[in-house]
Amino acid sequence: MLSQKAKYGLRALVELARADGVQVSAGELAARAGAPRKFLEAILLELSRSQIVVSRRGKFGGYVLARPPSEITFAEVIRIVDGPLALAPCVSPRLGFRKCADCPDLETCTLREALLRARDATAEVLEAYTLADAAVSGAPEPIRSIV
């Protein structure tokens, strides 16, 4: 299951993608993402350390994406914030692969094939879906002046 932390992080990153290179403050990002500011700042710090965002300190500080939104996938962000996409460690090819503690061996495990298929399907979708895709889909209607 996707954590609230990952949801807040993804929402904030989508807002940065929509900002199109314009720096956005932590307060503004928190408001747009519907996230508690302090919690979001901790998430953004983690994303900064992983070179997803660049932060600028000070009175006029804020955040921008470190790379174009078309180069940042949902899978990359979720792995940074939540860890592996896999439902069990025995089907995680990248992070934390190991035999499950309650499983006698990988070859005879009755669950592993289904969990592997689920991980592969999830990874296929999330690795193909970028912040640029999300910034376009579900974008709010532009504000129009009434004349």
- The set of long-range contacts for 21-28, using a CB threshold of 8 Å and a minimum separation of 24, is 21/64, 21/65, 22/64, 23/56, 23/60, 23/61, 23/62, 23/63, 23/64, 24/62, 24/63, 24/64, 25/61, 25/62, 25/63, 26/62, 26/63, 28/62
Distance from the Cα of residue 70 to its chain's centroid: 13
Q: Determine the pLDDT at residue 143.
A: 37
- Number of neighbouring beta carbons within 10 Å of residue 12: 27
Domain ranges of the chain: 4-69, 84-130
Q: What is the mean pLDDT of each run of 10 residues along the chain (147 residues)?
A: 94 96 94 96 97 88 95 97 84 71 76 88 95 82 41
CA–CA distance, 134 with 57 (Å, rounded to integer)? 27
Q: Which of the listed CATH numbers 3.40.50.720, 1.10.1370.30, 1.10.10.10, 3.30.420.40 matches domain 4-69?
A: 1.10.10.10
Q: Determine the pLDDT at residue 31.
A: 95
Residue type, 99: K
